[in-house]
Every structure is written in structure tokens, then in C-alpha cells.
Amino acid sequence: MAWAAAIAPLAGAVAVERRGRGADHTERDASLTLFDSARAKLSVQTIPGLQSQLVCPGDVVSAEPGALRGRGVVERHDGKLVATTCGVVEHVNKLLYVRPLKHRYAGSVGDVVVGRIVEVQTDRWAVEIGTAQLAYLHLGAIQLPGNVQRRRTDEDTLRMREFFDENDLISAEVQKIHESGELALQTRNARYGKLQNGVLASVPSVYVRRQAQHLVTLPRVGVMVVLGNNGWVWVCAPPKVAGSGRQETINFSQMDVRYQKVNPDMRERISRVRNAVLCLAGHGLEVTPESITFLYEQSERLELAAWELLDAARCDSAGLVESLATEATRSSGRN
């Protein structure tokens, strides 16, 4: 049910002309059978201006005179703008472009990402974050254990595997994008570093937008989530400093967190949150702390087991899908 992916606030009204119709005929209220049947089934109110902004390759997108074409839009021989990808038409001032519903993560400076170390090199780590090329984390761009502030030495180079080894999962921030498209990462923030005591959920990156906080401990759940802009979501127990047993403090560093035994109750909560993330993405909804908490509490109220969140038929029969669609529509109206 990918229609719900477009529930996020959309900018402006754009008319879409379907290929094969007359040049002067435009559909401002395009009727899409898939969306109509889904809304009829879920009894969700129609969102004004939503249908006219969904385009497929070949659709003619008309806008106000003087509009500039961006990515996903080309100019036809007759001067009209044509979409080249399936997605949502958006515009910033006079720039018109198509935002794909699904695409490979490209990366932007400042993005929080979750990645996996795939190779330890001379003075840097190669990190897989779902981009076309591997990202790299240099030795000088990490925070040393204990929040030590000093220059990196040859001894640190020899100890690189003590910091991060192959197959370690880390949280980091995109520091720079080189001309070749290669991403440079950094973990100088105390909350970035090796990820422990949890499980990874992978969803399309379009469902994780930029938010105020990407490393959040869900208040009424007691589980920490790291929402990577690359679509990798880490769900874990709230970190504690190794050997102290206390929660993170002002001197907390993610580099000091170590593996610990997670009790069965926490494991069940982690599994439910992880499945809630996959359930949201499976129904085309954005993954945010609010949506995760809503789905978590709603599934408990409906007495659904954690594994049942991955079964679309069970979620539908229990009324969970309808609740999600209603809440998403209400949230869109508030925004």
C-alpha cells in the first residue's frame, strides 16, 4: 500500500497531464484506481491536492510559466515538461522536480547514518551505508574512548581494529561529499560510535526524513532507536557506560559502550519496535519516533504479538492498518 508514502505534506498544486490525451486537456483531479480502492477499503478521507502530484514516467507535468526543470523532469520537443521517474512532483520557488518514491541513498552533509565496517585500511575504515560507493571514516575523524582529545599517532593506527573491526555496526554523520561522490564520515560527537546490544532494521531511505533527533530513546517504550537517513535503523537497549551500569551522563561516550546481557523483557520490546519499523515502511509510512510509538502502543492494545506485525493479513484483520492510515492522515492535517 504505497499510497500512504505520499501522505507527508506536499508543496503546491501541480497539474498532471496523462500521456495519450489531448495537448490542452489536463487532469487536475486525476483518478487513480489503486488509491481510490485503498481509501474506500480503509475509509480514509481524500487529501486535497494529493493525487494530482503523483506521476509516472511519461506524464506531462505543467506548472506556472517560467518554471525551471530539476531532476526527474525533462523538456519535450514541444516545450512541455515530462516526468522521467515515478514519484511526487514538488517545487521550490520556480524549480520543479520529481521526488522518487524509492531510490538509492545518495547522502547529504549532516545526515546521520548507520553503517557496517567492511574493511580496515591504512588510516581509515571503509563503511557500507547503502550508497553506490563505499563511504570512508578516517582515523582523525573519530572520537577516542574516554573522550580523549589529542592528535592521532602511529600507535593509534596500529590499534585501529580495537576501535572498529570488520562487520561492526556504527552510527556516524556525513561530514563531506567529494566530487567523485564518495562520502566522508565522522564520529566526533559523543553519541556516535559502535552500536551494541540491539538489532538492525533496513527500510528504503525515503521513509526516514531529516528530523530534530535521530538518536532517540522512546519515552514510553524504554528502547533506543538510531534513525539513519540511509534507511538503516538500529534498535537497542538504552546504552550504559561499561563497568558502571549507569545510563548515559554528560561524560557519556558511545565508544565506551560494551556488549551486555539483555533481559527477555527488553528483547521482546526491541523485537516489537524493530517489527514496528518494518511494518511502517511496508505500509508506506514515514518512520519517526512518534509513528513508532503509536504503532507500538496500538499493537499492544490490539493484543498483537511482536511477530504478527510482519504479517500484513493479521495487521489488516486486527484493524491496525486502518488505525495507521487514520493517524497518518490526522498527522498530515496537523502539519
Instruction: Report how far residue 276's alpha carbon sits from residue 227's, in angstroms, rounded to the nearest whole number.
Output: 13
Q: Report residue 196's pLDDT band, with 50, 70 and 90 as the boundaries.
A: confident
What does the alpha-carbon distance between residue 255 and residue 171 come to, in Å, rounded to a whole number?
Answer: 11
Residue 193's pLDDT is 87
- Residue 169 backbone phi and psi in degrees, to 5: -95, 135
Q: Is the pLDDT of residue 2 over 70?
A: no
pLDDT for the residue 7: 41
The region of weakest confidence among 30-39, 164-173, 302-311 is 30-39
Q: Could you read off the pLDDT of 136-145 as tens digits, one per residue?
A: 999 888 887 7
Q: By CB neighbour count within 10 A (0-12 exposed, 13-18 middle, 19+ buried), where does 249 fall? A: exposed
Q: Give me the mean pLDDT over the 142-154 stretch.
A: 76
Instruction: Determine the average pLDDT of the residues in 53-80.
Output: 82
Nearest CA among 11, 168, 13, 23 for reference residue 99? 11
Nearest 5°: CA angle at 84, between 81 and 88?
85
Delineate the domains of the chain, giving CATH numbers in brackets.
2-100 (2.40.50.100)
C-alpha to C-alpha distance for 124 and 121, rounded to whole angstroms: 5
pLDDT at 311 over 70: yes
Mean pLDDT score across all residues of the chain: 78
**In which element (H, E) is residue 297 found?**
helix 289-301
3-state secondary structure of 17: strand
Q: How much is the average pLDDT of 70-81?
A: 85
Residues of the chain with pLDDT > 90, as a percent, come to 33
pLDDT of residue 25 exceeding 60: no
pLDDT in tens, 85-108: 888 888 778 888 888 877 888 888
Q: Look up the pTM and report it.
A: 0.73
**Torsion angle of C-alpha atoms 18, 47, 100, 218, degrees rounded to 10:** -170
Higher local confidence (pLDDT), 258 or 161: 161
Three-state DSSP state, 23? coil
Q: What is the pLDDT of residue 120?
A: 93
Angle between helical axes of 33-42 and 320-334 (0-180°, round to 10): 110
pLDDT tens across 256-308, in order?
Answer: 667 788 899 999 999 999 999 999 998 888 899 999 999 999 999 999 999 99
By the 10 Å C-beta count (0-12 exposed, 13-18 middle, 19+ buried), 18 is classed as middle
Q: What percent of the chain has pLDDT over 70?
A: 76
